[in-house]
Chains A and B, each alone.
Chain A
Amino acid sequence: MSYSEEIIVSKQAVPTFAVVILAIIFGFGLFLVGYDQGHLFSIIQGAEAFDDLFIHELTHDMRHAAGFPCH
């Protein structure tokens, strides 16, 4: 006679893939909100992006409120 048993297995190891993905998101988000001065949009928009400061203006108030140097 066979029987089944269900047990909860705890796996503590943190997946490297998850760490890499989260680290990239951390770096990208921090740069976007805290430091971008047109860099991101300059990839598609060219030098004009450094004058428009689209992301800078969008994140301007949060940048000040979160303590980042702004201007």
Chain B
Amino acid sequence: MKTARFIALVLLAGCFAGIIHGTANLAIVEPYLDEAIGIENQNLFSSGEEQDTPEFWVEYSSYRDWQKGGQVLAGAILGTSVGALFGIIFAFSRRSLPGNHNVKKALILAGIMWLTIYFIPFLKYPANPPTVGDPETVVLRSILYLSFIAISGFGALGFYKLSNRLDKSKKIAAVLGYAIFISVIFVAMPQNPDEVIAPMDLVNGFRAMSLIAVSIYWIALGIILGAFWQKLQPDKSLQTYTS
């Protein structure tokens, strides 16, 4: 495999998909973030921690602009890093993925990864807007979220390896095995310790838009990486023989 071409196409695909993700967030998630931060500000004024003064709003606008501006850049960074993981797994599993076109193969893998390392963890620990979340528990919540993703991802990998040893007619057993495994983990893992005190229509709207935007990322990643792979064929090289 051509190493430089492989690395470059994987990183570019992830970066482009991440930029799409960041742009989607700006369009559909950002209004919910603004609303949630507005509630946070009101709480600060009510508690006396901050005063509703022009100076406050100048400082607020400054860092909110910085945060909003970072959406696309952070999307590109996150997209590139998750794309790197996706590229590694795609390279190892491409031949066993169904389909005769690399876009189809990449989309199938993107769907599997979306389900196992995003959607199932999201069901257990859904995204929350600002105003939800006690700073005192952020380390615990981070450990729980990352652990669940790792357990689900490595669990899926383990059952995939197991399925390779099974006859074609028995491969469904591996899928059922993963379903049972992750169901047990889902029930056994502790709940998010924080109480949701923000309005539920805001929280649910934010979660729905977050889900849509992340799903757009995975679809974009599958299409772009698959198309790049199809075009650049990093696993193939032209060799000339003279006799």
**A and B part of one assembly:** yes
Chain A residues at the B interface, C-beta cutoff of 8 Å: 2-15, 17-19, 21-23, 25-30, 32-35, 57-71
Chain B residues lying within 8 Å of A61, measured Cβ to Cβ, are 25, 29-30, 33, 67-68, 70-71, 74
**Stretch in contact with the other chain, from B2-10, B50-58, B99-107, B220-228:** B2-10
Chain A residues lying within 8 Å of B25, measured Cβ to Cβ, are 61-62, 65
Chain B residues lying within 8 Å of A12, measured Cβ to Cβ, are 1, 95, 235
Chain B residues lying within 8 Å of A63, measured Cβ to Cβ, are 74
Is B243 a contact partner of A5 (Cβ separation < 8 A)?
yes
Give the total number of A-B pairs whose CB atoms are below 8 A apart.
172
Q: Which of B7, B22, B69, B238 is most buried by chain A, counting CB atoms within 10 A of its CB?
A: B7
Is B145 a contact partner of A68 (Cβ separation < 8 A)?
yes
A43 to B213, CA, bound (A): 33
Chain A residues lying within 8 Å of B7, measured Cβ to Cβ, are 18, 21-22
Is B145 a contact partner of A64 (Cβ separation < 8 A)?
no
**Stretch in contact with the other chain, from B81-89, B108-116, B167-175:** B81-89
Min Cβ gap A30→B in Å is 5
Q: What are the 4 closest A-B residue pairs judged by CB atoms, nearest first?
A: A29-B81, A62-B74, A58-B70, A69-B141
A33 with B77, Cβ < 8 A, contacts A15-B6, A64-B33 known: yes
A1 to B178, CA, bound (A): 61
Which of A7, A26, A33 contacts B84, CB < 8 Å?
A26
Which of A13, A30, A65 contacts B33, CB < 8 Å?
A65
Decide yes or no whether B47 CB sits under 8 A from chain A: no
Min Cβ gap A69→B in Å is 4
A21 to B242, CA, bound (A): 36
A70 with B67, Cβ < 8 A, contacts A12-B235, A23-B84 known: no
Is A35 a contact partner of B142 (Cβ separation < 8 A)?
yes
A26 with B81, Cβ < 8 A, contacts A14-B88, A60-B70, A65-B25 known: yes
Is A30 a contact partner of B71 (Cβ separation < 8 A)?
no
A2 to B78, CA, bound (A): 53
A20 to B91, CA, bound (A): 13
Is A14 a contact partner of B80 (Cβ separation < 8 A)?
no
A71 with B138, Cβ < 8 A, contacts A57-B66, A61-B70, A62-B22 known: yes
Is A26 a contact partner of B237 (Cβ separation < 8 A)?
no
Closest to B210 in A: A65
* 13 chain-A/chain-B pairs, Cβ below 8 angstroms: A6-B240, A6-B241, A22-B11, A29-B80, A29-B81, A33-B77, A33-B81, A60-B67, A66-B210, A67-B121, A69-B128, A70-B130, A70-B138
B residues 188-243 touching A (CB-CB < 8 Å) = 206, 209-210, 213-214, 235-243
